């Protein structure tokens, strides 16, 4: 997995699957939300999101009142978020 940031946008390429992926995502999000109350996370081609990433996104939305928008490149991941009733929580859109 590769991750980059640009202003309030975080771009993730590759599959999100390990604890180190979660730690990298969390670290990048923490850096961005230190100066932004709204973030855009572009997940270009991952087939899944780990439960730790889902939990962390929920926490920053509910506790920190951060506005999150997910731009999802993979149709199956987008459908999964809908099935889990998370698409509206994460303001998910197909990229």
Domain residue extents for the chain = 2-94
- DSSP letter assigned to residue 37: S
CA distance 70 to 94: 8
36-79: pLDDT as tens digits: 999 999 999 999 999 999 999 999 999 999 999 999 999 999 99
Let me know: does 1 contact 27? Beta carbons within 8 Å: no
pTM of the model: 0.94
pLDDT at residue number 94: 95
Q: What is the pLDDT of residue 83?
A: 95
What is the rounded distance in angstroms from the CA atom of residue 95 to the CA atom of residue 74? 8
Q: Which CATH number is 2-94's, of 1.10.3470.10, 3.40.50.720, 3.30.750.24, 3.40.190.170? A: 3.30.750.24
């Amino acid at each position: 997995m590769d991750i980059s940031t640009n202003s309030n946008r975080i771009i993730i390429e590759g599959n999100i699957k390990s604890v180190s992926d979660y730690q990298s995502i969390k670290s990048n999000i923490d850096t961005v939300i230190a100066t932004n109350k709204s973030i855009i996370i572009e997940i270009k081609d991952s087939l899944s999101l780990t439960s730790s990433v889902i939990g962390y996104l929920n926490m920053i939305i509910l506790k920190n009142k951060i506005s999150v928008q997910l731009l999802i490149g993979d149709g199956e991941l987008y459908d999964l978020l809908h099935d889990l009733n998370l698409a509206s929580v994460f303001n998910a859109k197909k990229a």
